[in-house]
Chains A and B, each alone.
Chain A
Amino acid sequence: MSTVKVITGNHAASFGARDSRAEVIAAYPITPQTQIVELLSEFCADGTLKAKFIKVESEHSAMAACIGASAAGARAYTATSAHGLALMHEMLHWAANGRHPVVMANVNRAMGPPWSIWTDQNDSLAQRDTGWLQFYCESNQEVYDTTMIAFKVCEQVLLPGMLVLDAFILSHTYEPVEMPDQELIDEFLPPFDPPYKMDLKDPHAFGALTTPEWYMELRYLIQEAHEKALVKVREVEKEFGETFGRHYGPLELYRCDDAEEVILIAGSTASTTKDAVDIMRKEGRKIGLARIKLFRPFPNKEIRDIASRVNKMIVIDRNISFGNQGIFFNEIKASLYQTKHTPPVYGFVAGLGGRDMKIDDITGIVKQAETCNIEEILWWGVKL
């Protein structure tokens, strides 16, 4: 029998790690993530979860400990946010380049200064090129589900994965979360068994120095693993859907079947956008939503498919690449270049630093996209 608990997004992440049977958890507290590892430390203390909890002095060390654990063949988990993630940066490269499938929850929080604890996507998107898989979640249920999906995919391709949830909107908001039987989960996610692991009887240095003669080939293998990961995500999500009845996909389509316009967005704002789509549909507008769940590897095929069926794309970024444009906006445009059917793509930067994104904001953006200049970066809601 599955159980339903009404819990926060943070605790959904903790339960996800518990039910994925994480074996080593190393973490350092940071708002708005702290509750994730707080609950996990309780699980470790009371024996609910048979895992080693390592207290560390920084996020850099947290990731280093996870990498060590993963190299030794343990299923390793951590969680962080914003400045903590930024401090981990070096170790993020190490985890991916060393091919250690650590899974981490990152609560999307805006970068300071000025200090902010509210949500936007710049912290995780700044780690775009570290080689991590990135999953953006829309609901607490999805946070729970994606933890085991991430472990399964990551362990098959030997790459680390980050599941991303919005600060407060998900992290501190209570929602019902269904947790399946442990037996079913264990069947879906067997124990981690890496092809190479540290062994005292046969000692080696991992990630040892490699000359220019072979370094590039090791990088090629990571790109290849990402391409494989894209296929695996589709497969694993399908299997997850068949087993547990919930399916998300790399790019979730909502009311897109006959859509002439589509909004593209990632994170919890997609829920608000679904309501906005329903309202605009009632008014006779043929509009849909394509929610970007998977950011790395980027679902180019799915993006091109939806682009080929619509006349207009509106991308809403809760992030910005300073000196250029919204990050999802750029990625989506790059994906469409040199394809046959490229509809106009409008990019809006909105909701930075936790600025609320309501239904009116989404409908307002769609309305503004009717008249605005596509050449310009489009800011929504800035007081000028």
Chain B
Amino acid sequence: MSEVKFRGAHDLPPCSISVTHELTKTGNWRNAKPVFHKERCIQCGICWKVCPNACIKLGEYPEWDMDYCKGCAVCAEECPKDAIEMEDERVMI
């Protein structure tokens, strides 16, 4: 999906739509990232369906668009085979 850059109101779509543009880019909000275990995945597509940002692309296996994934962990929570784990990304200073 190509990303669109905006200069002003008139470049915007009338309603904010996820994963096409910087309007909804929330990747840098993340505290934890999904780690995928392919061997446990049964390709049921539940993660794709429940992602509130629609940032999971469903090919043979799911792929996350990390520019938009905000680490909400809904996919990990809903995966019936625990094939998605959340890994802490916080950097302690």
Residues on A facing B (Cβ under 8 Å): 97-99, 158, 195-196, 203-211, 214, 217-218, 220-221, 224-225
Partner of B26, one of A158, A195, A206, A209: A209
Chain A nearest CB from B45 CB (Å) reads 11
Does B66 belong to the interface (CB within 8 Å)?
no
Contact between chains at B9 and A205 (CB < 8 Å): no
The reply to whether A98 and B15 contact each other, CB–CB distance below 8 Å, is yes
A-B contact pairs, 16 of them (CB 8 A): A97-B15, A98-B15, A99-B15, A204-B19, A204-B20, A205-B52, A206-B15, A208-B17, A209-B53, A210-B24, A211-B23, A214-B6, A214-B12, A214-B23, A217-B8, A221-B9
Question: Which has the most chain B C-beta neighbours within 10 Å: A208, A217, A221?
Answer: A208
Prevailing SS type, chain B contact patch: loop
Contact across chains for B53 and A99 when beta carbons are under 8 A apart: no
Q: Which residues of B contact A206 (CB under 8 A)?
A: 15-18
Is there a chain A Cβ closer than 8 Å to B41's Cβ? no
Closest 6 CB pairs of A and B: A208-B18, A205-B18, A217-B9, A99-B14, A208-B24, A210-B16
Residue ranges of B at the interface with A (Cβ–Cβ < 8 Å): 6, 8-10, 12-20, 22-24, 26, 48, 52-54
Determine the residue in chain B with the shortest Cβ distance to A217.
B9
For A195, A207, A210, A220, which residue has the most chain B Cβ atoms within 10 angstroms? A210
- A204 cross-chain contacts in B, Cβ below 8 A: 17-20, 54
| Given A205-B52, A221-B9: A210 and B23 interface contact (C-beta under 8 Å) | yes
Tell me whether A203 and B23 are in contact in the complex, defined as CB-CB below 8 angstroms, given that A98-B15, A210-B16, A214-B12 are known contacts. Answer: no
Task: Evaluate contact between B13 and A205: CB separation under 8 angstroms.
Answer: no
Taking the nearest CB of chain A, how far is it from the CB of B51, in angstroms? 8
Residues of B within 8 A of A217 (CB): 8-9, 12
**Which residues of chain A have C-beta atoms less than 8 A from B17's C-beta?**
196, 204-206, 208
Q: Smallest CB–CB gap between A368 and chain B, Å?
A: 47
B53 to chain A, nearest CB (A): 6
Collect the chain B residues with CB atoms within 8 Å of residue A196's CB: 13-15, 17
A98 — which chain B residues lie within 8 A by C-beta? Answer: 15
Nearest-CB residue, chain A, relative to B17: A204
CB distance from A220 to the nearest CB of B (A): 5
**A220 to B26 alpha-carbon distance, docked (Å):** 23
